[in-house]
Structure 1
């Protein structure tokens, strides 16, 4: 009797303990009675009838992520590997459909992702695949929502997280990008060089312009100074020729003095003897005298005048007689 009572007590305690179970947060438990669906229990302490009821399964209600890697071909015949991340969860009100209608949800989602990606990517060239990856993700999400909603799954988001072309294509793209950047850099360097050349040319032109204006102003002032010097010398009885000769000699000695004042100068002025100034003055006076004589001769030379009968006669300006009187 004592052993039987202990056995019954142990069995009763076991059945009592088997009647209670706990459900974690964001989890749903499916209860079956004799293999038939009975109820869905949510988080907390729950009760079931031992032996008659059993826990058929637990359904995760949290957001899950499935990474799908697909290899496909683009419109320009480039093979790429794409990684699509699908974020989904079981709708709490549709736990029954999620548990009983679909046995392998991950395989179902993977199949739909493959179908959509391999239908969209072959329409695009490789460059457009990178640019329009968001459009591909939206198309995957739209297709999955329509298909998985009937099974109690909600597609939260889909992301194209990686696009990996063939290694040879990737190297070619890197070379193209490097060449394009070198081309851009060369264009900028050429433009900078052109700007420097133009700026230098403008600066030189401005410098030449200012230099020319300075030389013109200098010569103008020198001419004014010479005119004033000649006028002052004329006032003391020195004519223009002698004044010019005197100015030349003065400038000659001023030049010699300026050259001698520079200790680092190697310039030698030829001729540079004391007689040079006198020779220069004599040469100038002789030149002026010769030019005056030639001028007087040209003034006194008779002009040839044509008569009415088209005969030419010599006409002397100093002769006051009528050249046509004889006729």
Structure 2
């Protein structure tokens, strides 16, 4: 009997002591109720309770929590089925609301994330779901955070893990990607050929320009050479005429010129007779006196060019 009484006292003492003290860890908060009503929120530390009157009703994790959002089937705007899963990151900001505002805020957050994800996927085409994943994450966080405010929780971020189309769609996408790669390769090749033709045309054009420029320069040089040649011939002719005139003015010069002209005449006339089957003789050549008189007249004009002009002028006055 004594041992039974001692055992009962020990059990009651343990029960009372556990109800008398409450130790709250650093990472959590505890909701204290008194006679079934909310009394206060116990922060981390050591707290006294009234046994059988006060009790720790709820304990809330205050650190950021990561919840897995199970995969679900969604329909895109272009009527393609995709399987989507993700992760939601949330944190309890008000332990009182998290305890009394909803029975299970974690399950509620996951269900709300799935609902919002289906809604966002339905607004986009399949291509947009891959390219605008960040935008979808932001929209889901905003919608969940709006609904979760009465629950005392804050949605920090949402991350889409996988977007998996059906097998048939994947095959179609692979064929489309292959066709796109082939198209790009063809475009690249045609662009290369076009650029090569452009470079070839430009090179040919530059070559023609250089050839034309060279021909133009050659013609200019030839024209300059011919002009120089004409100038030299003219200068030589003028110089020769001046020397002939000077020779005529000297003693015996006139006779020498006449003799030279006669020699050349006879020589050329002999060549004509020798090389031609038919000879045509002017009437003047039958009379050598007429020829020598002509030579004398030429000599006079060469020696004194102004004589003819003087005689012409006198004849006009008469």
Alignment of 1:99 with 2:102, yes or no, is no
User: Deviations along 1:225-253, whole A, 9 cap, x unmatched?
Assistant: 5435644775669xxxxxxxxxxxxxxxx
Measure, in 2, the Cα distance between the counterparts of 1:214 and 1:60.
95
* Corresponding residue number in structure 2 for 1:252: none
Compute the displacement of 1:122 (Å): 2.6
* Corresponding residue number in structure 2 for 1:71: 73
Measure, in 1, the Cα distance between the counterparts of 2:222 and 2:165.
78
- Distance 1:7-1:130 versus aligned 2 partners, 3 A rule: closer
TM-score, scaled to structure 2: 0.59
- Ranges in structure 2 where 5+ consecutive residues have no aligned partner: 242-270, 280-318
Measure, in 2, the Cα distance between the counterparts of 1:9 and 1:126.
68
- Distance 1:53-1:169 versus aligned 2 partners, 3 A rule: farther
- Distance 1:200-1:60 versus aligned 2 partners, 3 A rule: same
User: Deviations along 1:125-174, whole A, 9 cap, x unmatched?
Assistant: 21233344444334433432343223222223334454343432442453
Partner secondary structure for residue 107 of structure 1: helix
Measure, in 1, the Cα distance between the counterparts of 2:235 and 2:27.
119
Measure, in 2, the Cα distance between the counterparts of 1:73 and 1:128.
13
* Corresponding residue number in structure 2 for 1:62: 63
Partner secondary structure for residue 102 of structure 2: coil
* Corresponding residue number in structure 2 for 1:186: 189
- Distance 1:163-1:187 versus aligned 2 partners, 3 A rule: farther
User: Deviations along 1:204-231, whole A, 9 cap, x unmatched?
Assistant: 1221122212321332244235435644
Measure, in 1, the Cα distance between the counterparts of 2:23 and 2:176.
57
- Distance 1:46-1:186 versus aligned 2 partners, 3 A rule: farther
Measure, in 2, the Cα distance between the counterparts of 1:148 and 1:48.
32
TM-score, scaled to structure 1: 0.57
User: Deviations along 1:53-110, whole A, 9 cap, x unmatched?
Assistant: 4433320122223342333122223222334433322222xx2332244333232222
Give the aligned CA root-mean-square deviation in angstroms.
4.0
Alignment of 1:204 with 2:201, yes or no, is no
Match of 2:171 among 155, 168, 182: 168
Measure, in 1, the Cα distance between the counterparts of 2:61 and 2:183.
51
Compute the displacement of 1:19 (Å): 3.0
Measure, in 1, the Cα distance between the counterparts of 2:182 and 2:109.
42
* Corresponding residue number in structure 2 for 1:297: none
Measure, in 2, the Cα distance between the counterparts of 1:180 and 1:24.
64
1:1-327 alignment runs, 5 A limit: 12=13, 15-16=16-17, 19-32=20-33, 37-50=38-51, 53-68=54-69, 69-92=71-94, 95-160=95-160, 162-166=162-166, 167-179=170-182, 181-183=184-186, 185-186=188-189, 188-224=191-227, 226-228=229-231, 230-231=233-234, 234=237
Partner secondary structure for residue 46 of structure 2: strand
- Distance 1:175-1:46 versus aligned 2 partners, 3 A rule: farther
Give aligned pairs, total. 240
Choose between structure 1 and 2: higher helix proportion. 2
* Corresponding residue number in structure 2 for 1:310: none
Partner secondary structure for residue 63 of structure 2: coil
Measure, in 2, the Cα distance between the counterparts of 1:103 and 1:85.
21
Q: Contact 2:24/2:45 (CA < 8 Å) preserved in 1? A: yes
- Ranges in structure 1 where 5+ consecutive residues have no aligned partner: 238-284, 294-327
Measure, in 2, the Cα distance between the counterparts of 1:206 and 1:63.
77
